Amino acid sequence: MNNCAGSERLPVTGEQREASARSFRDSMARSESRMAKKMPKEYKPGQSILVELSGRRIVEARANHLIQDRDGIKLQVDFGHDETALIEIWQVLKD
């Protein structure tokens, strides 16, 4: 075991463990409720949609594919001149 100076592990109390589990359950419930509001519908390839990208940039894009990955369902979109993005369903503002 690598013991560096100042990196001592302290025991976790039952109260701390319970608070951490409660926080995790709450965050999962929030993300599930957000996903329930925006369940993926059938996006047809080439369908025009309005999406919010990072930096709160809003663009008109064309839907390409729904992709299932370990983080959930994502939508691949084309926008601008030869630009693509892989976005979450909640980023679609208008169908």
Q: CATH no. for residue 49?
A: 2.30.30.140
How many domains does one find in the chain?
Answer: 2
| Type of residue numbered 56 | R
For residue 90, tell me if it sits in a domain: yes
For residue 1, tell me if it sits in a domain: no
**40 Cβ neighbours under 8 A, 6+ residues apart:** 66, 73, 75, 89
DSSP annotation of 15 reads: H
Q: Are residues 59 and 89 in the same domain?
A: yes
For residue 48, tell me if it sits in a domain: yes
- Least confident residue range of 22-26, 27-31, 37-41: 37-41
Examine the pLDDT at 2 and tell me if it is beyond 80. no
Element (H, E) at 20: helix 14-37
Structural domain harbouring 35: 11-39
Q: Are residues 85 and 45 in the same domain?
A: yes
Q: Rg of the chain's alpha carbons, rounded to an integer?
A: 20
Query: What's the rounded Cα separation, in Å, for the pair 51 and 28?
Result: 24
Q: Are residues 23 and 63 in the same domain?
A: no
Q: Which two tokens stand for residue 64?
A: 């390409």
**pLDDT tens sequence across 35-82:** 545 555 678 888 999 999 988 899 999 999 888 888 788 899 999 889
Q: Give pairs for 29-36: CB < 8 Å, separation 24+.
A: 34/90, 35/72, 35/89, 35/90
Q: Are residues 85 and 51 in the same domain?
A: yes
